[in-house]
């Protein structure tokens, strides 16, 4: 029978890196490849109502075996990995009984997971650490979540005497590029509430996310031969830099934490004639979020008054909102998860997400959906790693949530 580690190693070897420049759904074919593999595994486990949409959404259910009228609980993880680092030809490495020393991921390329730089490694001495070979990311975000859900369901199927309500699971594409909920059919999924298994370190439980927007800035310049450019050239690259300097320097990701929001320039390309920038705008507080967007627009207006109308054109699109507003009215689902974490001998770490999950949008689509941990570190990085023991705890938490849902009879 497959172990949790077997599943995880099998899943990470499939390249599911999403592509924000693609018009396809899902954005890359590898996501469908993984979804089809999971579809077969779900069939092998004996789940019912298994359906895979042509857009890459995989859903299934385990019918209730309890005679109580219980709410349906769902568990969700995403198929794709981040575009930030390659997910092709992932070569996972398993370091059993970790000794607390630096981990050499790739001797030939001198890529080392350094304890001095990543002191959290000290928390895992004696455990089994899984990494990539340093050339790619590992893909624990979120294949650890997929493996945990699949293992928990398999364990429950092995214990038919354990009573539970109806359980539904869903695997979504393109979460990393903000499209994971685009074609998610909440009614078809059929859960009263759900959890994304997409968090980080051991014990994390999250029900607050950023309010989020993406902003595209297009700058039109005038290119003239530099020898005759006097009072004629309008350098789009300089104007791009000027725009960026108008934004508060202390409101960048590298200078913010906890509930502090930011502007993040994550793409810049161009020439003298034209330049394009992409920003993400984030804040947990809705009023501050709206203020940030309004200030962004005022910066564009100022530069247009200085350099000429239509020099700077911006388009701001909201991506998701803080799910706290939708979770608080059903806070028992947080209490349920917190108890499940504690029952597994873990201190719950309830804190805001400095990011978002599929659950943020799903909560606003009528499916309250907080986030629980997988145990991973350094997501979106070649230095990503995860402890097998933390993944096992995630499996235990999923199973305990299901047990508590039956015991507490909410």
- Rounded CA-CA distance 284/118 in Å is 27
For residue 293, the surrounding DSSP H or E stretch is helix 286-307
Alpha helices in 159-227 (DSSP H): 186-189
Q: 198 near 371, Cβ under 8 Å? A: yes
- Rounded CA-CA distance 138/373 in Å is 17
15, 142, 174, 175: which one is catalytic? 175
Q: Is the peptide bond before 150 cis (omega within 30 degrees of 0)?
A: no
Q: State yes or no: is 80 an active-site residue.
A: yes
| SS3 of residue 274 by DSSP | strand
39, 80, 133, 141: which one is catalytic? 80
- Rounded CA-CA distance 285/287 in Å is 6
Residue 346 backbone dihedrals phi, psi, to 5 degrees: -115, 140
Rounded to the nearest 5 percent, the helix, strand and coil shares of the chain are 35, 25, 40
Q: 200 near 191, Cβ under 8 Å? A: no
* Residue among 211, 231, 184, 189 nearest 353 (CA): 211
Q: 336 near 401, Cβ under 8 Å? A: yes
- Rounded CA-CA distance 220/235 in Å is 8
Q: 212 near 280, Cβ under 8 Å? A: yes
CA dihedral 234, 238, 242, 243 (to 10 degrees): 80
Q: 59 near 394, Cβ under 8 Å? A: no
Q: State yes or no: is 285 an active-site residue.
A: no
Q: Which sequence positions are flagged as catalytic?
A: 80, 175
């Amino acid at each position: 029978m497959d172990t949790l580690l077997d599943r995880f190693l099998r899943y990470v070897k499939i390249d599911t890196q999403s592509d924000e420049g693609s018009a396809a759904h899902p954005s890359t074919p590898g996501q469908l490849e993984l979804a089809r593999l999971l579809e077969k595994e779900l069939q092998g486990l004996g789940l019912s109502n298994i359906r895979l949409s042509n857009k890459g959404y995989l859903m299934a259910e385990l019918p209730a075996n309890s005679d109580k009228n219980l709410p349906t609980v769902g568990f969700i993880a995403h198929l794709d990995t981040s575009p930030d680092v390659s997910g092709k030809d992932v070569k996972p490495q398993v370091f059993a009984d970790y000794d607390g020393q630096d981990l050499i991921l790739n001797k030939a390329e001198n890529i080392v997971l350094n304890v001095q730089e990543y002191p959290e490694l000290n928390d895992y001495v004696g455990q089994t650490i899984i990494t990539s070979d340093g050339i790619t990311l590992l893909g624990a975000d979120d294949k650890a979540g997929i493996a945990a859900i699949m293992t928990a369901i398999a364990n429950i199927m092995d214990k038919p005497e354990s009573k539970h309500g109806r359980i539904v699971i869903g695997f979504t594409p393109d979460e990393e590029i903000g499209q994971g909920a685009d074609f998610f059919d909440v009614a078809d999924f059929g859960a009263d509430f759900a959890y994304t298994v997409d968090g980080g370190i051991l014990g994390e439980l999250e029900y607050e996310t950023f309010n989020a927007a993406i902003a595209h800035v297009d700058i039109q310049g005038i290119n003239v031969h530099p020898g005759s450019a006097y009072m004629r050239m309008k350098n789009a690259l300089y104007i791009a830099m000027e725009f960026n300097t108008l934004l508060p320097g202390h409101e960048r990701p590298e200078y913010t934490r906890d509930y502090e929001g930011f502007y993040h320039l994550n793409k810049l390309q161009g020439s003298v004639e034209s330049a394009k920038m992409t920003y993400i705008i984030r804040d947990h507080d809705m009023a501050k979020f709206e203020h940030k967007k309004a200030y962004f627009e005022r910066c564009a207006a100022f530069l247009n008054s200085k350099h000429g109308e239509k020099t700077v054109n911006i388009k701001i699109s909201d991506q998701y909102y803080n799910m706290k507003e939708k979770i608080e009215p059903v806070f028992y689902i947080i209490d349920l998860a917190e108890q499940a974490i504690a029952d597994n001998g873990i201190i719950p770490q309830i804190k805001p997400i400095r990011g978002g999950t599929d659950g943020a949008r799903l909560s606003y689509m009528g499916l309250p959906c907080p986030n629980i941990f997988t145990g991973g570190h350094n997501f979106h990085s070649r230095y990503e790693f995860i402890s097998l023991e933390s993944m096992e705890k995630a499996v235990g938490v999923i199973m305990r949530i299901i047990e508590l849902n039956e015991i507490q009879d909410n």
